[in-house]
Amino acid sequence: MFQRFYPGHWVDSAYEIDYNALYQSGIRGLIFDIDNTLVPHGADADDRAKILFAQLKAQGFHICLLSNNKEERVKRFNKDVHVNYIHKAGKPSVKNYIRAMELMNTDRSNTVFIGDQLFTDVYGANRAGIPSWLVKPMNPREEIQIVLKRYLERIVLYFYKRQIRKGKRAE
């Protein structure tokens, strides 16, 4: 019933993903959400984000930020990481996931999405046919509409974890 919202992978942090393994498996495009995925909501790129993006670009990854935020917020984060971005993305609409792949010259077979929300980030990636990595939100302080969605996410994640425990693949 909830499978459309299930992530392909679920990890604590975008900073613990084995990007070397992703690259070795043929992944060349990384689409990231920003808020509560890479930095706390509204924060600029911190040293950890700057180092991660420098390493990923040096390794040969193409990167695009995909955010439902206004351009000013996305530009402010991007000023220190210098990657492609799409603001007011309308996630979970598929359109801008596809646009992100076009900007990176990648496709569904060699792109993954990394984000912190099931109903926008993961659902949109799943609809677009892109493998998704769900990360735990970095900061519990969020806007009220996101707080309300987090309650619903707990229900979906309960069934996701149950499926994993039964030994079934999430994807």
Q: What is the pLDDT of residues 86-140, one digit of tens each?
A: 999 999 999 999 999 999 999 999 999 999 999 999 999 999 999 999 999 987 6
Query: Residue 165: CB partners within 8 Å, gap ≥ 6?
Result: none
Who wins on pLDDT, 6 or 142?
6
Separation between Cα atoms, residue 73 and residue 15, nearest integer Å: 21
Who wins on pLDDT, 26 or 1?
26
Query: Residue 82: CB partners within 8 Å, gap ≥ 6?
Result: 53
Q: Looking at residue 35, what is its pLDDT?
A: 94
Q: Looking at residue 57, what is its pLDDT?
A: 98
Rounded to an integer, the average pLDDT of 12-39 is 97
In this structure, whether the domain defined by 3-165 belongs to CATH 3.40.50.1000 is answered with yes
Q: How confident is the model at residue 144 (pLDDT cuts 50, 70, 90)?
A: low
Q: What count of Cα atoms within 13 Å lies in the side-chain half-sphere of residue 53? A: 22
Angle at CA 98, nearest 5°, toward 93 and 101? 140
Separation between Cα atoms, residue 152 and residue 148, nearest integer Å: 7
Q: Please tell me the chain's helix, strand, coil percentages from 3-state DSSP, rounded to the nearest 5.
A: 45, 15, 40
Q: How confident is the model at residue 171 (pLDDT cuts 50, 70, 90)?
A: very low
pLDDT at 163 over 90: no
Among candidate residues 91, 130, 107, 101, the one with its CA nearest the CA of residue 7: 130
